[in-house]
Homo-oligomer: A and B are copies of this chain.
Amino acid sequence: MGTDQTGKPSPSDETRPAKEGPVPSPAIRRLCLYLRELEGFLVQDRHTVSSKQLGQMLGLTDAQVRKDLAYFGQFGYPGVGYRVEELIARIRSILGTDRTWNAVLLGAGNLGRALLSYRGFFKKGFRIVAAIDCDAHRIGEQVGMTPGLRVLPLERLAEVIAQYDVQIAILCVPADAAQSLADRLVPLGIMGILNFAPVAINVPETVSVTSVDLAVHFEQLAFRISARQVAQEHGG
């Protein structure tokens, strides 16, 4: 894997991208979790952490942690571990969360309003700059924590995206509205869609989509519980 062209062993070189080769997508998911744990470490005034400690908190092996980080460079110190602040900065840079991202929320129903009120996104650098709904009853309602934030009609979508340089759309609409909204978002220059509608949406390859179907998580849990029960019956 070490296609570090010349094999130059300088430990602190590239801030940005990575070495050659694709990064396992499970590694990306874990990177987010490492970051979460590291941020917790900072609060506890711990300034170094080993791959073993970090892995243990998430049920992973130390080798897994090291490999994941190694895809993006070398930033550990043998015999010491990783410096928490430095690793946080590196992971944020890798994930692209060392900048702020502006998002527009579509669908000010129960879930949409819950997301608008969640402070965690703000801390991570995500700003929901507008909420949009096509239900006339909801328009003008104040939502979220930002005092001035009110629900806007769908007609103002283009204006809002342009005005705030919005890159991300959060879809919290019913399943039957998701695709037509996605079709509307694409030509407006949106770069990514976080889709909470329980349906697959189709967009050009230039747009990234991440889907979160809450019912699917319930079902997966049901399966795990059922499988465990079956295993117990078989085992004794």
Check A212 against B212 for contact (C-beta < 8 Å): yes
Residue numbers in B under 8 Å from A115 (CB-CB): 214
A80 within 8 A of B: no
Residue A162 at the chain B interface, CB threshold 8 Å: no
Quick one: which of B111, B168, B228 contacts A206, CB cutoff 8 A?
A: B228
Complex CA gap A215/B122 in Å reads 10
Contact between B95 and A32, CB atoms less than 8 A apart: no
> A219–B212 Cα gap in the complex (Å)?
13
Interface pair B192/A221, CB less than 8 Å apart: yes
* Contact between chains at B227 and A210 (CB < 8 Å): no
Is the CB of A77 closer than 8 A to any CB of chain B? no
| Pair A194/B217 contact, Cβ less than 8 Å | yes
B28 and A5 contacting across the interface, CB-CB below 8 Å:
no
* Among A56-64, A82-90, A149-157, the stretch in contact with B: A56-64
Question: Across the interface, do A200 and B113 meet the contact criterion of CB distance under 8 Å?
Answer: no
- Inter-subunit contact B7/A26 (CB<8 Å): yes
Q: How far is the CB of A67 from chain B (nearest CB, A)?
A: 13
**Cross-interface CB contact of A227 among B14, B40, B193, B220, cutoff 8 Å:** B14
* Contact A208:B221 (CB < 8 A) given known A30-B7, A95-B226, A115-B214: yes
Q: Which of B6, B32, B109, B192 contacts A33 (CB 8 A)?
A: B6
- Interface pair B3/A59, CB less than 8 Å apart: yes
> A57: which B residues are within 8 A, CB to CB?
200
Verify A121–B225 contact, CB threshold 8 A: no
Please give, as numbers and ranges, the residues of chain B lying within 8 Å of A37 by CB-CB distance.
200
> Which residues of the partner chain B approach A147 to less than 8 Å between Cβ atoms?
none
Report chain B residues within 8 Å CB of A1.
59
Within the complex, what minimum Cβ distance (angstroms) separates A74 from chain B?
20
- Is A213 among interface residues, defined by CB-CB distance under 8 A? yes
Give complex CA distance A161, B114 in Å: 26
Contact between chains at B110 and A214 (CB < 8 Å):
no
CB-CB contacts below 8 Å: A217-236 with B: 217-231, 234
The 7 A-B residue pairs whose C-beta atoms are closest, nearest first, are A96-B226, A114-B114, A208-B224, A110-B114, A32-B216, A110-B117, A96-B222
